[in-house]
Amino acid sequence: MWRQLQAAASVLAGVRGGQSATALLSRVDGALRPGVQALAFQALRQLGRAQALRRLLARRAPPPEADALLCTALALCCGDDETPYEAFTLVDQAVEAAKRSSTARAQASFINACLRRFVRERETLLAAAGRDPVARWNHPLWWQQRLQQDHPDSWQRVLEAGNAQAPMTLRVNARKATPAQYLATLEQAGIEASAVGQYGVILARARPVHELPGFGDGVVSVQDAAAQLAAPLLMDGMAPGAASRVLDACAAPGGKTAHLLELSQAQVTAIDIEPERCDRIGETLGRLGLQAQVIAADAGRPSAWWDGIAFDAILLDAPCTASGIVRRHPDIRWLRRETDIAQLAAVQARLLATLWPLLKPGGRLLYCTCSVFRVEGEVQAQTFVTHNKDAVLRPAPGHLMPQTGENANPVPDNLEGDHDGFYYALLEKRAAAGPIA
């Protein structure tokens, strides 16, 4: 266990330094990675509280490596019902991890003293730490304030959902099965699951994809229930069987691209700016037996890739803060800065303005983000419609607040069941008016 704690603390230190937890975990030895990810993600979900506790236990922070190890251990000890090990086991193994570290060895006694004091005075220290809103909600203060402003009636539930562990949700390939048929297959395999949305299945317990019946044959893909709304929203207005031209901008890793193809006969062009991520689109489509034109390019510069023929439909899953998926990526809340919101909103506006001329009159553009901040959702869509008189908003879910199995969302929601936070706006381009008789 001390090896896992060392690696989890290294992930925490890297996130503090501005690195993605996903990238950091990819460097962890494969045999250790599942356990390290579980510990690191729990530590990141409890980081606000852990840092407040460390400040109560020590006026001066130890060196960065030792502080990361101490905060990791505190985060794992302070979780109410989520602590994976007994407190004394965690203390023992954290101290062992420090002793075996070339950078934290000198702080082993200090870490031991802090952790043992926490175990003795747990309730008193937790109560004191809880007076700090960052410790109470385990999100940066600016993030909390933004949610209070955007969603005054539900901001607390949004934060609670962000601290929950996300389930493993699958999308059933409509070309190969129905959710009811796949649920029956899972039941035969002894795997407990339930339906969510039109195409989704939620597993009671996450498991490696190679253990899922039919995964290798393209029967199912991993995709959150909120993200599964994109393709149906865009394609429902298309004539059945029509070979429409569809653009999936910012398409990697290809989940929505695949869903578009599962539901239609469309000719899909999938674009992403990063070549490596385009490779992932190809891998996704290959497993599912689907084909699309995949281009590594900047969607915001059509002159480099567009053939001049207008699209019938465009899916713009725009770059955003990812504030709606922090339960799946708990490092996001600590990596983001408040200034990122305005910068990303500017990118979203530029992409909307650039891609709109590529759409046929009568065509539809679905704008979506995995964000719960209104400036990346409702404000962005309303501003676009105000400045583009040929754009009409059609019925769409709007802001979907993240919802967990234990935390039913009381605000209006277009998707029942467990899902991430998302925003959807469906824009239709007015057909040009004919000549006056």
Rounded distance between C-alpha atoms, residue 312 and residue 232, angstroms:
15
CATH number for region 227-429:
3.40.50.150
Residue 404 above 90 pLDDT? no
Which CATH architecture group holds 2-138? Answer: Orthogonal Bundle (1.10)
Q: Which two structure tokens, joined as six digits, stand for 169? A: 């949700």
Amino acid code (one letter) for 168: M
**380 pLDDT more than 90:** yes
Q: In the predicted model, what is the mean pLDDT of residues 348-366? A: 97
In the sheet that 293-296 helps form, which strands lie side by side, from edge to edge?
Answer: 293-296, 267-272, 245-249, 311-317, 359-369, 422-429, 391-400
Task: Give just the sign of the alpha carbon dihedral 23, 25, 26, 28.
Answer: positive
Long-range contacts of 204-210 (CB under 8 A, 24+ apart): 205/168, 206/167, 206/168, 207/168
Q: Once rounded to an integer, what is the mean pLDDT over residues 409-430?
A: 80
Tokens of 71: 């905060």
CA-to-CA separations, 125 to 74, 249, 305, in angstroms, rounded: 11, 49, 58
- Are residues 5 and 100 in contact, defined by beta-carbon separation less than 8 angstroms? no
Model confidence at 159: pLDDT above 90 = yes
Res 412: pLDDT: 43
Q: Which of 77, 250, 368, 370 is catalytic?
A: 370
Cβ-based neighbour number of residue 382 at 10 Å: 13
H/E stretch holding 269 reads: strand 267-272
**The predicted structure's pLDDT at residue 347:** 98
pLDDT, tens only, 50-104: 999 999 999 899 999 999 999 999 999 987 656 667 888 999 999 999 999 988 9
> By the 8 A CB rule, do 285 and 292 touch?
yes
- pLDDT on residue 85: 79
The alpha helices in 79-121, defined as continuous H runs, are 87-99, 108-120
Residue from 323, 320, 318, 324 nearest 353 by CA: 318
Tell me: pLDDT of 240 over 60: no
Bridge partners, residue 391, by sequence: 429
Distance (Å, rounded) from C-alpha 144 to C-alpha 338? 11
Q: What is the pLDDT of residue 410?
A: 42
Question: What pLDDT sits at residue 59?
Answer: 86
Whether residue 419 contacts residue 402, with contact meaning beta carbons closer than 8 Å, is answered with yes
Give per-residue burial for 152-191: e unless 16+ CB within 10 Å, then b: eebbebbbbbbbbebbbbbbbbbebbebeebbebbeeeeb
- Cα(75)–Cα(97) distance, integer angstroms: 16
pLDDT tens-digit map of 263-279: 999 999 999 999 999 99
Asked if 249 and 299 touch (Cβ cutoff 8 Å), the reply is yes
- According to DSSP, residue 336 is labeled -
SS3 label, residue 322: coil
pLDDT in tens, 166-220: 999 999 999 999 999 999 999 999 999 999 999 999 999 999 999 999 999 999 9
- Pick from 13-17, 43-47, 404-408, 433-437: least confident: 433-437
39/43 Cα distance (integer angstroms): 6
**Angstrom distance (rounded) from CA 110 to CA 103:** 14
Query: Can you give the residue ranges of every domain in the chain?
Result: 2-138, 169-222, 227-429
> Rounded to the nearest 10 degrees, how much is the dihedral formed by the CA atoms of 410, 414, 417, 420?
-90
Please report the pLDDT score of residue 114 as a whole number: 96
Whether the upstream peptide bond of residue 253 has omega within 30° of 0, thus cis, is yes
Confidence of residue 411 (pLDDT cuts 50, 70, 90): very low
Q: Look at the block and give the residue holding tokens 């990063």.
A: 274
Beta strand spans in 175-265 (E): 193-196, 200-203, 220-222, 245-249
pLDDT band at 4 (very low <50, low <70, confident <90, very high): very high
Query: Do 225 and 200 touch, CB atoms closer than 8 A?
Result: yes
Rg of the Cα trace of the chain? 24
Residue 370 is among the residues annotated as catalytic for this protein: yes
Each residue of 311-336: pLDDT tens digit?
999 999 999 999 999 999 999 999 99
Q: pLDDT digit string (tens) for 113-126?
A: 999 999 999 999 99
What is the pLDDT averaged over residues 3-19? 96
The dotted CATH code for 169-222 is: 3.30.70.1170
The string of DSSP letters for 200-225 reads EEEESS---GGGSTTTTTTSEEE--T
CA nearest neighbour of 115 among 31, 208, 24, 5: 5
